[in-house]
Each structure stands twice: as structure tokens, then as C-alpha cells.
């Protein structure tokens, strides 16, 4: 099983990176390359959509956390959605979920994003 | 690739213990991790190992195999790694044997996973330790022998 990567634009200069298949030591460089090509200072939010991801190893985790570090450095949002149980478990093992924006599904993430936009509007 | 099957009955009246052993030998190339994953998938289907155990151990296999390909040999070498799978009485054990330089992976985990930089290495050994019940490393002659064991609850129809 290989890795499928689909990148789509989101509202307010966001990018959604949907990954499916197997994110491991052999496929992690493909995701790193896609992130390097697509995520830059002008991107306000990066959403990693794990819906189709079946397998995640430490090599894949490193790419995910590099993307998060980049977004944190740019003052952008980093969000993760649709983690399957075996994928969520890997994040739990390395105790990395605290302080991260993780949503069980699209509806929960939409609710969060709407609340964030409302806060921005209130501040304008 | 080699494969063997071993069966032994220890008590015919009450509890029959059957050892189910298979082995695969692969060259020390990272891309062979997928061959190992396929081999393990077939093994799990053959012996009805539960899905949660499968999910944990396929990650352990990946982490350990990649660790060996990364550290045990010079990159130019074309050596082999043998992986032995054994499943008996609610316990799966996996043994990795390679003839690379002496390397105890258990000495190379990150110190504190909560404060570790998750962009760096060292998480693989932490994952292996977390997903298995026992881990043991031996240097036997010119070989590294690394064994992990995981217990699970057998269902009645297994």
C-alpha cells in the first residue's frame, strides 16, 4: 500500500492535506515534498485530514510535526481531523495530543473554525 | 524468503499448545519494510490474530526493521535481516536477527517523550516499548538478536 496525497485550498488562505494509505519511512519523503511545495508563509491554516490513513510510523510523525512547527513559527493554525483509532493511538503513545487542535470529524472542526472566525470579526 | 511451520502438542487432554513459527529473510533495504508488512499480514490472517494486536505489531515491525536498516550496516552493504514470527497460547513473539555492528536499540530511546522534539528521532524505540510487553537484546556471536513479545487474549474460536 502506498501513500495518496491530495492538497486542496480552504477558506482564508488555508490548505487541506488529505492523506490515505500508508505513511511510513518509505512514503514520508513524498509528504515532506508536498508540504515543502505547498505550505509557506502565506498559508494561514494547515489541515491534515487523516480519513484514509491506515498506517502511521515514527517517520511519518516527524513530517507531521515539522509541518506543525512551521505553522507555529508562522503564527498559523495547524489542525488534524478524522484520525482513525489506530492512528490516534500512535499520537497518544508519544504523548503528543495535548495542546494540538485535533477533531474527530469535519463537523467538529467546522464548529471550531466558525467560532474562531466569529472571534476575529468581534475583534475587528 | 524462507518459511517454516512448527507444531507441537504439549498436552493432548486439556490444553494443546501449538507453536506457529514462520521466518522471512530480507535484504537490509528500507523499501523491504513493505514486504515484511505483507508477510505479517498473511501470518495474522492464517492464525486469526486479533486486529488490535495486528495493528500494534505491524507498527513494531516497521519501527524495528527500519531501525536495523538505518544503524546496523553501512549504507553500501547488502546484508540480510531475518525476522522470526512465533505465535503460541496468546503470545506473539518477533525476533530480528542481523549481522551488523553491535547495536542495542533499547539504549537509543528518547529520554522523556513528553518533552522530546517530535521532529527528531528516537520515537521508534519508545513506540516499540509501548506496544509490546517484553523486549530483549542479545549480541550472539557476530549477530544482533532483538526479540519483542506481546500477550493477548485468545478468543474461543481461535
CB-closest option in A1, A22, A61 to B118: A61
> Which chain B residue lies closest to A91 (C-alpha atoms)?
B127
Residues 64-103 of B with CB under 8 A from A: 66
B87 falls within a domain: yes
- The more confident residue out of A119 and A21 is A21
Confidence of residue A111 (pLDDT cuts 50, 70, 90): very high
Q: Which domain holds residue B138?
A: 20-151
* Spatial distance between the Cα atoms of B149 and A115, rounded to a whole number of angstroms: 47
- Residues B12-20 have a mean pLDDT of 58
Which pLDDT score is estimated for B18? 64
Domain boundaries A3-123, corresponding CATH code: 3.30.750.24
Which pLDDT score is estimated for A1? 65
Q: Residue B126 sits in a domain of what CATH number?
A: 3.30.565.10
- Residues B85-101 have a mean pLDDT of 93
B135 falls within a domain: yes
CB-closest option in A62, A93, A95 to B119: A62
Tally of structural domains, chain B: 1
- Contact between A52 and A20 (Cβ < 8 Å): yes
- Average pLDDT score over chain A: 93
A50: nearest Cα among A98, A91, A96? A91
- The more confident residue out of B68 and B75 is B68
Q: Is the pLDDT of residue A39 over 70?
A: yes
> Which chain A residue lies closest to B129 (C-alpha atoms)?
A93
Best residue in B34, B44, B110, B119 for a mutation probing chain A (most A CBs within 10 Å): B119
Would the CB atoms of A24 and B114 count as touching at under 8 Å?
A: no
- Residues B43-59 have a mean pLDDT of 95
Burial class (CB in 10 A: 0-12, 13-18, 19+), B70: middle
Give me the phi and psi of B56, to 5 degrees please.
-70, -45
Q: Is the pLDDT of residue B13 over 50?
A: no
B64 falls within a domain: yes
B89 falls within a domain: yes
- Residues A41-47 have a mean pLDDT of 93
> Which chain A residue lies closest to B31 (C-alpha atoms)?
A26
Summarised one tens digit per residue, pLDDT across range A53-101 is 999 999 999 999 999 999 999 899 999 999 999 999 999 999 888 889 9
B67 falls within a domain: yes
- Average pLDDT score over chain B: 84
> Which chain A residue lies closest to B70 (C-alpha atoms)?
A25
Burial B27-62 (b: 16+ CB within 10 A, else e): ebebebbbebbebbeebbeeeebeeebbbbbbbbbb
Would the CB atoms of B124 and A90 count as touching at under 8 Å?
A: no
Amino acid at each position: 500500500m502506498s501513500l495518496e496525497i491530495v492538497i486542496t485550498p480552504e477558506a482564508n488562505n488555508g490548505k487541506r492535506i488529505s492523506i490515505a494509505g500508508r505513511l511510513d519511512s518509505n512514503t514520508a519523503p513524498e509528504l515532506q515534498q508536498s508540504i515543502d511545495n505547498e505550505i509557506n508563509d502565506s498559508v494561514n491554516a494547515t489541515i491534515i485530514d487523516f480519513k484514509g490513513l491506515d498506517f502511521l510510523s515514527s517517520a511519518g510523525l516527524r513530517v507531521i510535526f515539522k509541518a506543525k512547527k512551521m505553522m507555529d513559527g508562522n503564527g498559523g493554525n495547524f489542525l488534524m481531523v478524522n484520525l482513525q483509532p489506530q492512528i490516534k493511538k500512535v499520537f497518544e503513545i508519544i504523548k503528543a495530543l495535548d495542546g494540538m487542535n485535533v477533531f474527530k470529524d469535519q463537523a467538529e472542526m467546522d464548529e471550531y473554525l466558525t467560532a474562531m472566525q466569529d472571534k476575529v470579526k468581534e475583534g475587528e | 524468503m524462507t518459511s517454516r511451520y512448527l507444531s507441537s502438542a504439549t498436552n493432548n487432554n486439556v490444553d494443546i499448545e501449538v507453536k506457529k513459527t514462520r521466518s522471512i529473510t530480507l535484504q537490509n533495504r528500507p523499501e523491504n519494510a513493505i514486504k515484511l508488512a505483507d508477510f505479517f499480514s498473511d501470518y495474522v490472517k492464517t492464525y486469526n490474530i486479533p486486529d488490535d494486536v495486528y495493528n500494534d505489531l505491524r507498527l513494531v515491525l516497521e519501527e524495528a526493521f527500519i531501525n536495523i536498516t538505518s544503524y546496523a550496516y553501512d549504507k553500501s552493504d547488502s546484508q540480510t535481516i531475518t525476522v522470526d514470527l512465533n505465535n503460541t497460547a496468546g503470545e506473539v513473539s518477533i525476533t530480528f536477527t542481523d549481522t551488523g555492528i553491535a547495536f542495542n536499540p533499547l539504549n537509543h530511546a528518547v529520554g522523556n517523550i513528553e518533552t522530546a522534539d517530535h521532529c527528531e528521532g528516537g520515537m521508534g524505540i519508545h513506540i516499540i516499548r509501548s506496544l509490546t510487553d517484553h523486549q530483549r537484546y542479545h549480541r550472539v556471536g557476530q549477530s544482533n538478536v532483538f526479540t519483542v513479545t506481546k500477550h493477548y487474549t485468545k478468543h474461543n474460536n481461535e
